[in-house]
Amino acid sequence: MIRNNSQNQGEQLRILNFEGNAAKYIDELIRLDRTCLSTYSTVWSEDNFMLDLPQKGQLSKLAILEDNLIGYLVCSSYQDQRICHIHRLAVRSDYRRLGIAQRLCKTSFRECLKLGISKVTVETANKDIPAKNLYTKLGLRLLEGAELYDYISRRGKEQPNRFSRDRDGFGVYSIELKRY
C-alpha cells in the first residue's frame, strides 16, 4: 500500500511474520527502535525483541522493502490466548503516512482472527497524536471507567496512576475484532 511516492514505483512491500524472520533483521530492529521510540520509552535490546511470549512469532510483523526493514509491530497474546496486546510499533520516518502502520496492524488483526483471538489492546501516550489517530482509524476506542479498571487488573499493572487523562499520562485503546 505504498502510495504517492514515485521513488517506490515497482518496489513491493512485504509483510513478514516475526517467526523465522526477526533474527535476520535484528540489527535493523534495534536501530529503528532507537530512532523511533527512544523518547517514548526504554529502547529495546536483542533480548527484548527475541523474548519468547505467547503467539508473538505469528502476531508480530515486519515491513520489508527491498530487503530493508522499514517498520515493525510486536504483539503477543494474554488472557489464555484470547486477547492480543500491541507492545511496539514503529515505521521509519521517511516512509510514514503511506499506510504501512495500518497494513502491519491489519495483517496482525487478520492473524488474530485465524488464531481465535477476537480482541486487541494497546497503551499509548496521550500526547502521541499520530498513534492515537492511527488506532482510532483502525477502529480501536479509548477504555474508560470499569473497562479500564478491568484492563489494569487483568494486566497486573502496578502503576494504575499512569493511565491519567493529562498530557503525560497513557490511554488504553481496544477493539473487538469481527472481520479484518
Toward ligand COA, which CB reaches closer, 20 or 42?
Answer: 42
Terminal Cα-to-Cα distance of the chain (whole angstroms):
16
Residues in the chain: 180
Question: Measuring CA to CA, which residue among 107, 124, 125 is closest to residue 115?
Answer: 107
Q: Does 100 bind ligand COA (CB under 6 A)?
A: yes
Q: Please give the residues from 6 up to 35 whose contact with ligand COA meets the rule CB under 6 A.
A: none
Q: Does 101 bind ligand COA (CB under 6 A)?
A: yes
| Grid cell digits, residue 169 | 499520562
- Of 13, 16, 89, 112, which lies in the binding site for ligand COA, with binding defined by CB under 6 A? 89
Long-range contacts for 64-67 (Cβ within 8 Å, ≥24 apart)?
64/13, 64/14, 64/15, 64/16, 64/25, 65/2, 65/8, 65/11, 65/12, 65/13, 65/14, 65/95, 66/11
Q: Does 2 bind ligand COA (CB under 6 A)?
A: no
Least Å from the CB of residue 157 to ligand COA: 16
Q: Does 153 bind ligand COA (CB under 6 A)?
A: no
The Cα 127–Cα 2 span in angstroms is 27
Per the DSSP assignment, residues forming a β-bridge with 61 are 17, 73
Least Å from the CB of residue 37 to ligand COA: 5
Toward ligand COA, which CB reaches closer, 45 or 146?
Answer: 45
- Of 43, 57, 65, 96, which lies in the binding site for ligand COA, with binding defined by CB under 6 A? 96
- Of 129, 141, 154, 165, which lies in the binding site for ligand COA, with binding defined by CB under 6 A? 129
Question: Measuring CA to CA, which residue among 22, 18, 1, 119 is closest to residue 65?
Answer: 1
Least Å from the CB of residue 96 to ligand COA: 3
| Residues that bind ligand COA in the complex, under the rule CB under 6 A | 36-37, 40, 89-91, 96-102, 124, 128-131, 133-134, 137
